Structure 1
Amino acid sequence: MCKNSTEIRSCMQYYKKPIFAKGRIVKKESLDLLNEFPEKLISTTWNSFSDGILYGCAIEYTAQTLIVCEGACIYQGEVVLIEREEIPFLDFDRQVVVKLVFHDWEKTEDFMIRPVELKIDDTVFSANYEMELGRFFLSKGAELRKQYQTMEDCRTAYNTLDVTHVPYAGHNHGTLSPVVFKLYARLLLESSFLDEIDYSFCFLCLNQERMERETVLTYFSCVLGKPCWEFTNNQIYETLVQFVRHRAEKKVKQVTGIRKEPKVL
């Protein structure tokens, strides 16, 4: 209800919260409010986000069983909840890619259902109805490693989970896994020759749940002194690798210079 006058301009809204109590009849309006609330909340929160992983969906491996943990992702603008799944895994000694496959909606009398299939294959390129969760090459008897020592370590050929290709949801544009950015921050903060912008970016990586693509590419443009707006996810990862490597080389040169003995004239 809105009021307009020369003195007052205001609009009143009424937020309704249904009450369920013993002895009261459940009203259709109350059930409609419960039905609409999560949908409106999700739409308001994530309507500007790209398709990709929101939370969770982590991959684990134990006792010849592949585990995909529960999580949430955005597909075609809608939030889809993923339940924990355990499947036998015997695809050793070859690269495999773990994906979610989104099928078309199915309608019943009571529900709209979107089947989501967990798929493991050797196709590195995902179709537009697929979403990668990670890839690896596992040797029989080995453990699937998820701890990384260097940026290059994220793409170690054998027995290491590679998450650098996983699309993560972000405002308007997708981004990379927070695992990649947090690793970058920890490694860079161990180096020397950091500028203020490096420190700021690293602290953002460590404190935020996700690094927005615009933030990352703005950082790259400032450091490199040229526009980087068209970088793909692969180029973003490779640039982070180069930045850490460049700082490490500078540190080695500095240490070598300090320890160098003076020449005898």
Structure 2
Amino acid sequence: MFTNVYPNFTKGRILKGDMLESLRDVPRRFTELSTEAYSEGIVAGAEVRITAEQLVVSRGLVKFGSRIYALEQDYSLPYQANGRETVLKIRFGEAVEQSDFTLYKADIVLDHEVSLRGNELELGRFKLKEGAKLRSDYQSFADFATEYNTWNRLHIPYSAVGQSSLSPQLTRYYGAELLSAGSTNAYDIAFAMQCLNQNTVNRELILRYIGSRLGMEYKAYDNVQIHKYLTRILEEAQLGTRARPDLRSGGPRRMLVD
């Protein structure tokens, strides 16, 4: 049967362990059930802000294994320009038994080792030349993949149903640019609406869209390949908009005579 148990903290009653356990277990069960079907990755927050000398990770939630880890306040760490690819990682440690708690701890580190170990998740990466400034203000959708001096979000796993998906900032940017391009393709309009209306877009939806839009067979592309194909679709849509003739009534008309 379904139940809803709430402890009665009233004057004169003895505080019992199971009363406190009920307060502990309900939010934990809610969190576990809400994210049970979701993959590992960022659940909420954990956005990276770039300053002149530091990377600032905002407070947030991430899922690793079956557990949710919380960053209660913003965390800053310094970075350097050395021309090498550097990855910002969450590195999960072993459980630590304490007298009152079992602590599952995860550290935020910068690492020149690009590949991820089994106990790591990525928060982004960069390759900064000496004397240059690291930026995260993208000039176009293709700019998200710029190799040098640009914060790269392509590899960040975001928690989603079934399997991890792309950064919401990436998909929102794409959706806005696609609608601005004026595409009349039904797939484009529907997908752009999903990008702007949802926080994290389901990965399979993205892959199905790419296959249908480009007339290709469905394939499990990685994040970099997905970005490449989305860039191609967007550029074609923008080119189609620019190539469209001016058909407005009373608009200027020119005749070219050879």
Flag whether TM exceeds 0.5 (same fold): yes
TM-score by length of 2: 0.88
- Rounded to whole Å, the distance in 2 between the matches of 1:19 and 1:142 is 61
Gaps spanning 5+ residues in structure 2: where? none
Deviates more, 1:207-216 or 1:247-256: 247-256
The whole-number CA distance in structure 2 between the counterparts of 1:143 and 1:24 is: 62
Aligned to 1:76: 65
CA distance in 2 between partners of 1:139 and 1:65 (Å): 16
* 2:45 counterpart residue number: 56
Q: Any idea what the Cα deviations from partners look like across 1:51-102, whole Å, max 9, x if unmatched?
A: 1111111112325222211111111121111242222333444331101111
Q: Which residue of 1 aligns with 2:14?
A: 25
Paired amino acid for 1:253 = A
Residue correspondence of structure 1 range 143-162 to structure 2 within 5 A: 143-162=133-152
Alignment match, 2:257: 264
Counterpart check, 1:213 vs 2:203: yes
Q: CA deviation at 1:247?
A: 1.1
Bigger Rg, which one: 1
Name the structure 2 match of 1:105.
95
Contact 2:183–2:189 under 8 Å retained in 1: no
Alignment of 1:36-47 (within 5 A): 36-47=25-36
2:218 match: 228
Contact kept? 2:89, 2:123, Cα under 8 Å: yes
| Structure 1 residue 103 displacement after superposition | 1.5
- Asked if structure 1 preserves the Cα contact closer than 8 Å seen for 2:81 and 2:131, the reply is no
SS in 1 for 2:163: coil
1:212-242 residue CA offsets vs partner (Å, 9 max, x unmatched): 1122122223212333242222221111111
Q: CA separation of 1:111/1:150 partners in 2, compared to 1, >3 Å: closer, same or farther? A: same
Secondary structure of 1:26's aligned partner:
coil
Give how far 1:110 is off. Answer: 2.1
Q: Are the aligned partners of 2:50 and 2:135 in contact in 1 as well (CA < 8 Å)?
A: no
How many aligned positions are there?
254
Structure 1 length as normaliser, TM-score? 0.86
Change (3 A) 1:259 1:163: farther
Identity of aligned residues (%): 29
* Moved segments of 4+, more than 4 Å: 139-143, 255-261
